[in-house]
Amino acid sequence: MAGPAISRLNRTVTARHATHDPAWVQWTLTAVALLFLTLFLFVPLAAVFTEAFRRGIGPYFDAFRNPDAISAIQLTLTTATIAVPLNLVFGVAASWAIAKFNFPGKSLLITLIDLPFAVSPVISGLIYVLLFGAQGWFGPWLAEHDIRIIFAVPGIVLATIFVTFPFVARELIPLMQSQGNDDEYAAITLGASGWQTFWRVTLPNIKWGLFYGVILCNARAMGEFGAVSVVSGHIRGQTNTMPLHIEILYNEYNFVAAFAVASLLALLALVTLALKTWIEWKNPAAHGAEA
Amino acid sequence: MSVEVRNITKRFGKFVALDNVSLRVNSGELVALLGPSGSGKTTLLRIIAGLEFPDPGSAQVLFYNEDVTNLPASQRKAGFAFQHYALFRHMTVFENVAFGLRVRPRDKRPAEPEIRSRVAKLLQLVQLEPLAQRFPSQLSGGQRQRVALARALAVEPKVLLLDEPFGALDAQVRKELRRWLRRLHDEIHVTTLFVTHDQEEALEVADRVAIMREGRIEQMGTPEEIYEHPASPFILNFLGNVNLFQGRIHEGRVVIGGAEFQATNHVGESNSGAVAYVRPHDIRLTRERTGQSSLAARILRVNAAGPVVQVELERLDDHSQFGVQLSKEFSRQLNPQAGEQVFVELQNLRVFAEDYSI
């Protein structure tokens, strides 16, 4: 009687989960990941704040009293204020169409939405120069009517919209596809109009995914450098956004001011991360992975 | 208060989902649309609800004899329940049920106290009053479907359309819920059409059953009519286990092996090949040959687990196999053993010409 009982006990003790790796593998992998994160994320982040405060609090805040800095911050905020709502509307409309309907050219639309991710931001900016620049396709016509797009605010806004437009749609398409159409059908059979169905059923169903897409879109809109750099013309106090302003300050060896403004963008990134984590904690289904 | 469709045809590309279907559900009737998947039953239901539109032609959908063919779903007043409930997950049970009342245009919308009392009454009807403030994710599958029914009933629908309402539930809950649905229907008498692929469910709950196959209604009638007088081998097969016996029709009788049997349905006079369908409980086992109407067979297996005893046999002449169900009582008397030879008597033979495909 005792024999089998003991051997069963032994088996239980030595039993391991099939996917359970030895301790040294776990520790090595964790260490590699931590080391990588430290080198490429934490150290640069710390460096930004260290450099910004190198001469103390006073010079740090002086960087934001400079009129050019104020103008850059204002321009960045303006750009984001225009680009983000437009992309929100576009993103919801495109994902609604893609997830809920079948129409010719649907896969082309999906490819087009991904285009800004595939194309280098500098090329995106150059396309606008080619279209709207002085030598561009619409250049002469624009000059005739005294409309400035390139080396002006409209060009910056256009480039930002282009670069950031996949964020909301990419977030919503898989979410809406996984939710299907039954909720909308149910609302319609209960007498709701298309508009009521959207506001009362569809929008609440996607709100967390939408919020998630919007904060990512906003982070990119404020931080975009490449495309904006090409179309901006770097006119101080007029067409410099925060990232461009940072570059100029840095090139002028004005390190404290450069890092002070950079710390603002870094803070934005941290806030974005915090919001993102909060959404994921609040609603695990929001980022596509169905809970 | 009847609901009727006429000449409905619906194609998806080359696939014909519905092939000139006509169907009438009388006022206050509970009708089941029964059929295997792909037979077009859900498409028909969605066309009645206005979620899908029939191919243009002479198709017509009538509610209370009024043509609603071109009316959008939101104006048809057809209550619809989905297999996966489609409850609004961000609303409480109460708000889900109230939805249909709240989205009405201002001049037709009931006042708030009226909405409250109507929703409360409906929740009482589906026995979910205590759960009014819960969210759908906090309910069991059966409770969710009851909420969905209450929500559909809130708009006082002209017809209730249920698409596999119990399809996502486990067997035990299914049984309870379909009895509950029957009682609910006896209480409120709303004209109801429900789709199912479960023949037991359809036969138990419905006043009448329409059996669909490949986009057509193959037979429609009361559960008893359909079970007792199936119009085709397909329906026989679909309604439960059945044994096939190859034979010939001879002067109104059917000859199988060396034996002659009387067919239950009408059989042509022609001397042609035929297949007789016999349900397992319509076969009698004996040890002695009893006249002309018996076949010799050998017992392969006896399974006494369950309410009836299942016996598998093999005919001695052509070695085809078939199954028999015996009552426990009869089985105790006969005491059949695997390997022994017995005689079988066939009753209630339904005979169809041989080329009739299933």
Residue B9: pLDDT band (50, 70, 90) is very high
pTM for the model stands at 0.79
With contact defined as beta carbons under 8 Å apart, do B205 and B178 qualify? yes
User: Tell me, what DSSP letter sits at residue B74?
Assistant: G
- Flag whether pLDDT at B357 surpasses 70: no
Chain B interface includes A272 (CB < 8 A): no
What mean pLDDT comes out for the span B22-42?
A: 92
B354 Cβ contact list (under 8 Å, min separation 6)? B246, B272, B273, B274, B275
Angle between helices A203-223 and A166-179 (to 10 degrees): 160
CA distance B217 to chain A (A): 25
Residue A290: its pLDDT value, please?
36
What mean pLDDT comes out for the span B79-97?
A: 93
Chain B interface includes A200 (CB < 8 A): yes
- Flag whether pLDDT at B201 surpasses 80: yes
- Expressed in angstroms, the distance from the first to the final Cα of chain A is 47
B77 neighbourhood in chain A, CB within 8 Å: 191
Residue B356: its pLDDT value, please?
52
The three-class DSSP label of residue A116 is helix
Chain B interface includes A51 (CB < 8 A): no
Task: Say which residue, A170 or A284, is predicted with more confidence.
Answer: A170
Taking the alpha carbons of B296, B301, B302, B306 in that order, is the dihedral positive or negative?
A: negative
B186 Cβ contact list (under 8 Å, min separation 6)? none
Which span out of A100-114, B215-229, B289-303 was modeled with the highest average pLDDT?
B215-229
* Check: complex ipTM more than 0.85: no
- Expressed in angstroms, the distance from the first to the final Cα of chain B is 36
With contact defined as beta carbons under 8 Å apart, do B63 and B79 qualify? no
Residue B58: its pLDDT value, please?
84
Residue A289: its pLDDT value, please?
37
Chain B interface includes A266 (CB < 8 A): no
With contact defined as beta carbons under 8 Å apart, do A218 and A88 qualify? no
- How many CB atoms are closer than 10 A to CB A35? 10
Chain B interface includes A286 (CB < 8 A): no
For the ranges A8-17, A50-59, B14-23, B163-172, the lowest mean pLDDT is seen at: A8-17
- Flag whether pLDDT at B287 surpasses 90: no
CA distance A194 to chain B (A): 9
Closest C-alpha among A110, A95, A79 to residue A221 = A79
Q: Alpha-carbon distance B325 to B347, whole Å?
A: 13
* Interchain proximity B50–A185, CB inside 8 Å: no
A200 neighbourhood in chain B, CB within 8 Å: 88, 99, 103
What mean pLDDT comes out for the span A268-274?
A: 88
Q: What is the largest CA-CA distance in chain B?
A: 81
What mean pLDDT comes out for the span B332-356?
A: 85
Q: Quick one: closest CA in A to B109, which residue? A: A191
With contact defined as beta carbons under 8 Å apart, do B239 and B212 qualify? no
Task: Say which residue, B195 or A291, is predicted with more confidence.
Answer: B195
Residue in the block written with tokens 């079970």: B227
Share of chain B above pLDDT 90, in %: 52
∠ CA A88-A90-A91 to the nearest 5 degrees? 65
Name the residue among B51, B84, B99 with its Cβ closest to that of A190: B99
Residue A284: its pLDDT value, please?
61
Q: Quick one: closest CA in A to B95, which residue? A: A200
The tokens for A75 are 């321009």
Chain B interface includes A46 (CB < 8 A): no
- How many CB atoms are closer than 10 A to CB B2? 16
DSSP B251-312: TTEEEETTEEEEBSS---SS--EEEEEE-GGGEEEESS--SSS-EEEEEEEEE--SSEEEEE
Q: Alpha-carbon distance A88 to A80, whole Å?
A: 12
Residue B136: its pLDDT value, please?
93
* Interchain proximity B99–A187, CB inside 8 Å: yes
Q: Following CA atoms A263, A265, A269, A275 in sequence, which dihedral angle do they give, to the nearest 10 degrees? A: 110
Residue B147: its pLDDT value, please?
94
Query: Best mutation site among A190, A196, A203 for testing chain B: the one with the most B CBs within 10 Å?
Result: A190
Name the residue among A182, A190, A205 with its Cβ closest to that of B103: A190
- Flag whether pLDDT at A17 surpasses 80: no
pLDDT digits (tens, 9 = 90+) for A212-266: 899 889 989 998 888 888 888 888 778 888 999 899 989 988 888 889 889 988 9
Residue A285: its pLDDT value, please?
53
The tokens for B55 are 């191919």
* Interchain proximity B86–A196, CB inside 8 Å: no
With contact defined as beta carbons under 8 Å apart, do B311 and B341 qualify? no
Taking the alpha carbons of A28, A30, A33, A39 in that order, is the dihedral positive or negative?
A: negative
* Interchain proximity B51–A200, CB inside 8 Å: no
Residue A1: pLDDT band (50, 70, 90) is very low
Q: What is the largest CA-CA distance in chain A?
A: 102
Burial category of A8 from C-beta neighbours within 10 Å (exposed 0-12, middle 13-18, buried 19 and up): exposed
- Flag whether pLDDT at A4 surpasses 60: no
Q: Alpha-carbon distance A70 to A264, whole Å?
A: 12
* Interchain proximity B103–A200, CB inside 8 Å: yes
Residue A21: its pLDDT value, please?
77
- Flag whether pLDDT at A158 surpasses 70: yes
CA-to-CA dists, residue A129 to A138, A184, A238, angstroms: 10, 43, 18
* Interchain proximity A188–B86, CB inside 8 Å: no
The tokens for B232 are 């085709």
A182 neighbourhood in chain B, CB within 8 Å: 82, 84, 86
Residue A15: its pLDDT value, please?
53
What mean pLDDT comes out for the span B82-99?
A: 93
Q: What is the mean pLDDT of chain A?
A: 85
Q: Quick one: closest CA in A to B79, which residue? A: A189
- Flag whether pLDDT at B74 surpasses 50: yes
Task: Say which residue, B49 or B267, is predicted with more confidence.
Answer: B49
Q: What is the mean pLDDT of chain B?
A: 89
